[in-house]
Structure 1
Amino acid sequence: MPLSTGRGGGSGEGDPPHRGHSARRHRASAGDLVDIAPQLHLVAPVRHAVIATLRLWGVPEVADDMGQIATELVVNALLHGDPAGVTVILTVRDSDAVLEVDDGNGGHPAVRHPATDDEGGRGLILVQALADRWGYRPGTCGRKTVWASLTLPEVGPEDAS
C-alpha cells in the first residue's frame, strides 16, 4: 500500500466529489484501496501509505493533511466500527483528493465536544479543520462510509508541460 459538505462542516449524508475507480493495492486511475484488520497499530502504516501515495501521484501539497485525516477517520472506524476491520479508499480525480473509510457501524459520525482534559474525542474536529469537504453515506448491511476531500492546487501553464 503506497494507499452535507463544506470546510469545517458537513457531517451530513452524501457522496464525495468525483468518486473514481479504485484498485486493490496499486495505482489505477489514481485510486488505491486497502482493507485493514481492526488493530490500532496499523493506523500509522495507513497514514504513511496515504502520504507516500499522494506524493507518488504528484500532489504532495495535500499529502500531510490527508495523512492526518486518514489517521483520524481510521482510528474512529477501528474504535467504533465492526471488529472485522475497515476499508480505506484513496482517489485523486479532477480537482480533488478523496479519502473514504468504510466501517461496520451504520450510525452517523458525531462531532464531540470534549472537555479540555479529555484524552480523546477530537478526531472529527480535526477532520473538519483540515478537509475542504467531508461527510458520510450509509451503506448496506449496517455499514457506512465517512469521506473527506481536499481540493488540489490548480496547475498553472508552467506546470502543465
Structure 2
Amino acid sequence: MSESSARHLRPVPPTGLPEPLHQQIEHVPLRRHKWQVVPSDLTSSAASRSFVRETCARWPVPEPYEFLAVQIAAELTANAVEHGKGNGPVHISLILDADLVILTVTNSGTTATDIQAHRPEADAESGRGLLMVDHLATDWGWYRTSTGGTAVWAELALPPATEAVTDRPQTETPR
C-alpha cells in the first residue's frame, strides 16, 4: 500500500481533535464551530448541503471553497446514510480555524472496516464518491467513534486572505 493511500486509513480524528467533536469542542481553541444532526434517510444529503452552504455563507469562507465544502458534505452524508444502514442519526460538524475548514460526518453504523478511495469499474453505478472527496479535499480520513460508529472527515485549506478571521466588526470606524 502506498503512503498516500495509507493516510486515508488512519483511525484518528483530524488534527488530533477529540471525539465526539461536538461534546468536547470547547476545550480546543477554534475560531468557529457548528454542528447539526440529520435523520438517516433520503433527506439527509439535502439537509447537509443546506447546513454547510448556510454556515459557510455566514463565515468568511470564499467561493469556490464553499461549493467544495457543500459537495464533500453531500457525499460524506450519503455514504453515512448508506453504510450506517439507518442505525441512528447522522452528525455533521463544520469547523473554521484560520485557514482551514474541517468537515466531519459521523454515523452510528458498524459496517466500516477499510474506507478508501478507489476507482470503480467503468460501468459501476456507484463507488466514485470518496474518489471525488480525495480530489476535492486537501486531506481526509476516517476513524471509529467510541460508540462504534464511523466518522469520516475532510479538510479544505483556504487561501491566506481568510487567515484574518476574528471577531472584529466588519467595517472599521475612522479615528
How does the TM-score come out when normalised to structure 1? 0.80
Report the residue type matching 2:126 in the other structure: G
* 1:126 to 1:156, Cα distance in 2 relative to 1, 3 A: closer
Give the counterpart of 2:128 among 115, 122, 126.
122
> How far 1:104 moved relative to its partner?
1.9
- What does residue range 45-64 of structure 1 map to in structure 2 within 5 Å? 45-61=47-63, 62-64=65-67
Runs of 4+ aligned structure 1 residues displaced above 4 Å come to: 6-9, 18-23, 156-161
Report the residue type matching 1:15 in the other structure: P
Query: For structure 1, which runs of at least 5 residues remain unmatched after alignment?
Result: 1-5
**Residue pair 1:9, 1:128 contacting (<8 A) in 2 also:** no
Identity, in percent, stands at 28
> How far 1:148 moved relative to its partner?
0.2
| Structure exhibiting the larger radius of gyration computed from Cα positions | 2
- Relative to structure 2, which stretch is displaced further, 132-141 or 14-23? 14-23
Report the residue type matching 1:127 in the other structure: V
Give the counterpart of 1:150 among 142, 149, 156.
156
Question: Does residue 103 of the first structure (1) align with residue 101 of the second (2)?
Answer: no
Separation in 2 of the partners of 1:42 and 1:85? 9
Residue equivalent to 2:139: 133
Residue equivalent to 1:87: 91
Separation in 2 of the partners of 1:93 and 1:151? 10
| CA RMSD, Structure 1 to Structure 2 (Å) | 3.0
Separation in 2 of the partners of 1:90 and 1:7? 24
Report the residue type matching 1:17 in the other structure: T
- What does residue range 6-85 of structure 1 map to in structure 2 within 5 Å? 10-13=7-10, 14-17=12-15, 19=17, 22=22, 29-61=31-63, 62-83=65-86, 84-85=88-89
How does the TM-score come out when normalised to structure 2? 0.74
Aligned length: 152
Query: For structure 2, which runs of at least 5 residues remain unmatched after alignment?
Result: 24-29, 167-171
Separation in 2 of the partners of 1:15 and 1:64? 24
Structure with a larger share of its residues in helix: 2
* 1:118 to 1:158, Cα distance in 2 relative to 1, 3 A: closer
> How far 1:110 moved relative to its partner?
3.2
> How far 1:157 moved relative to its partner?
10
> How far 1:11 moved relative to its partner?
1.5
Secondary structure of the equivalent of 1:39? coil
Secondary structure of the equivalent of 2:120? coil
**Residue pair 1:77, 1:101 contacting (<8 A) in 2 also:** yes
